[in-house]
């Protein structure tokens, strides 16, 4: 009998050792595949520790069941529960950045589009933002992909015009930010009572906002592109060593280019006014963004994007009557891409710009062109003003009519500003010159 027990004990010990050996291999595979819980788990809240540790092997099973329910509910068009299920799934797998990214995207894009009510759509876009901002980044502060995904919702979903309710989102965001700052940006010197809300709810840290503005130039925080820039900037500076940050650099460059083209905002949500026009002061900041990215990432794509931006900037400065700066930018473009030297000179390029078909231009360029002509009229020396202003205004009005009449621009029609508004913007710009 005693021998039997000794034998069983030995067998048990052997199996115990074998299990330990298997675990070493498994742990290594997990580390290789990046599916191991990181050291941050020590700082995670009790709920996360409970779900990730106490559930043990059953965690995967629970996650599978939740995924299946989520998919079936979404198929049936019953989306009430999706936010809840996404919350649980992500908390059961908190270290998988792609899961956070998927659920945020699913809510902001796939689910929001199901609603025809703009308020409910905005709610789902915000649900996607909140999932990443409030939880995803809390558990994965060193994952640049999550910062990029969050910035993408601002830049693409809210900032661009693919969603037919993008104007509503823009107004909502601007109104929320206006409620915090009472203007385009916070007064960093005199922090008000809203600072706490900025930090706690929106995760907008004034010290980071300030350093962004000091580096890139003054920004309007009511614009979605500014938020995209903020999150990409944070992603770039919070990324764990060895993580690919090129997507954050992409976003910084794209956001700055958008800020340059449409960073000057005239807004009145109650009257439905949302006019964005070029913010020419942001040129140095935008150039810095591209040059930093080219240095950091050593990727050809950044150089191509920079050359494209410079060509667009030449056009913008030209339409605002600043051919001196336009020439400097053109020379910069040629120094970056010398092969253009043989094909084009400055005069030829300006002539080409003057013959662009406005209906084929993106709305930001079209607005820049029209407002630029009006601005020229207001900013010429007083003796020339009367003579030129009428001519330039006539040309601007013709361009405005052409653009507004084109059915291709239907999607942007809600925010393609009235001519009078552009006129007013141009007048203000000339006054502040």
| Residue with smaller CB distance to another protein, 1 or 42 | 1
Residue 115 interacts with another protein (CB under 8 A)? yes
| Residue with smaller CB distance to another protein, 130 or 286 | 130
| Residue with smaller CB distance to another protein, 49 or 123 | 123
Among 78, 295, 348, 352, binds another protein (CB under 8 A): 78
Residue 404 interacts with another protein (CB under 8 A)? no
Distance CA 433, CA 371 (A): 14
CA angle 138, 168, 251 (to 5 degrees): 45
Residue 80 interacts with another protein (CB under 8 A)? yes
Residue 306 interacts with another protein (CB under 8 A)? no
Distance CA 280, CA 433 (A): 11
Token pair 């034998």 is found at 7
| Residue with smaller CB distance to another protein, 91 or 318 | 91
Q: How far is the CB of 409 from another protein (least distance, A)?
A: 17
Residue 124 interacts with another protein (CB under 8 A)? yes
What residues have CB less than 8 Å from 236, skipping those under 6 apart?
144, 147, 245, 248, 249, 252
Q: Of 156, 144, 43, 69, which is closest to residue 101 (Cα–Cα)?
A: 144
Residue 87 interacts with another protein (CB under 8 A)? yes
Of 14-22, 121-129, 236-244, 419-427: span binding another protein (CB under 8 A): 121-129
Among 36, 49, 55, 113, binds another protein (CB under 8 A): 113
Distance CA 268, CA 264 (A): 14
Distance CA 90, CA 137 (A): 12
Among 82, 236, 305, 396, binds another protein (CB under 8 A): 82
Residue 337 interacts with another protein (CB under 8 A)? no
| Residue with smaller CB distance to another protein, 79 or 150 | 79
User: What is the pattern of x (binds another protein, CB under 8 A) and - over residues 150-169?
Assistant: --------------x-----
* The total number of residues written for the chain in this structure: 433
275 beta partners: 266
Q: How far is the CB of 125 from another protein (least distance, A)?
A: 11
274 beta partners: 267
* Tokens encoding 206: 């004034």
Residue 367 interacts with another protein (CB under 8 A)? no
Among 52, 90, 127, 255, binds another protein (CB under 8 A): 127
| Residue with smaller CB distance to another protein, 380 or 406 | 406
By CB under 8 A, the count of residues binding another protein is 22
Interface contacts to another protein, rule CB under 8 A: 75-84, 87, 110, 113-116, 120, 123-124, 126-127, 164
């Amino acid at each position: 009998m005693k021998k039997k027990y000794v034998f069983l004990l030995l067998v048990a010990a052997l199996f115990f050792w074998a299990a330990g050996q298997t675990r070493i291999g498994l742990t290594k595979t997990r580390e290789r595949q990046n599916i191991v819980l990181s050291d941050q788990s020590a700082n995670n809240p009790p709920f996360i520790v409970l779900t990730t540790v106490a559930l043990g092997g059953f965690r995967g099973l629970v996650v599978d069941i939740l995924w299946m329910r989520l998919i079936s509910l979404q198929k049936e068009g019953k989306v009430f529960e999706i936010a809840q299920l996404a919350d649980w799934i992500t908390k059961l797998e908190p270290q998988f950045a792609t899961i956070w990214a998927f659920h945020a995207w699913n809510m902001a894009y796939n689910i929001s589009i199901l609603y025809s009510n703009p308020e409910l759509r905005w709610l789902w876009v915000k649900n996607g933002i909140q999932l990443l901002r409030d939880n995803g980044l809390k558990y994965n502060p060193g994952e640049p992909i999550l910062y990029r995904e969050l910035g993408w919702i601002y830049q693409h979903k809210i900032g661009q015009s693919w969603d037919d309710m993008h104007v509503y989102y823009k107004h909502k965001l601007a109104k929320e930010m206006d409620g915090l700052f009472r203007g385009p940006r916070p007064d960093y010197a005199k922090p008000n009572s809203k600072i706490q809300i900025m930090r706690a709810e929106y995760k907008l840290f004034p010290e980071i906002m300030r350093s962004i503005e000091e580096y890139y130039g003054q920004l309007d925080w009511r614009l979605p592109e500014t938020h995209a820039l903020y999150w990409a900037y944070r992603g770039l500076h919070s990324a764990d060593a060895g993580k690919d940050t090129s997507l954050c650099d992409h976003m910084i460059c794209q956001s700055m280019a958008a800020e340059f083209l449409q960073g000057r905002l005239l807004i009145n949500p109650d009257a439905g006014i949302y006019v964005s026009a070029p913010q020419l002061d942001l040129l140095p900041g935008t150039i810095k963004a591209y040059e930093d990215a080219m240095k950091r990432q050593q990727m050809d794509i950044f150089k191509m994007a920079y050359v494209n931006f410079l060509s667009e900037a030449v056009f913008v400065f030209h339409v605002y009557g600043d051919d001196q700066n336009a020439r400097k930018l053109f020379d910069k473009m040629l120094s970056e891409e010398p092969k253009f030297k043989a094909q084009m000179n400055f005069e030829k390029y300006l002539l080409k710009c003057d013959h662009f078909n406005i209906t084929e231009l993106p709305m930001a360029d079209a607005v820049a062109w029209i407002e630029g002509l009006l601005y020229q009229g207001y900013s010429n020396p007083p003796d020339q003003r009367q003579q030129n202003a009428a001519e330039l205004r006539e040309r601007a009005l013709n361009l405005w009519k052409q653009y507004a009449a084109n059915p291709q621009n239907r999607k942007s029609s809600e925010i393609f500003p009235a001519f009078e508004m552009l006129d007013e913007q141009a007048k203000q710009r000339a006054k502040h010159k």
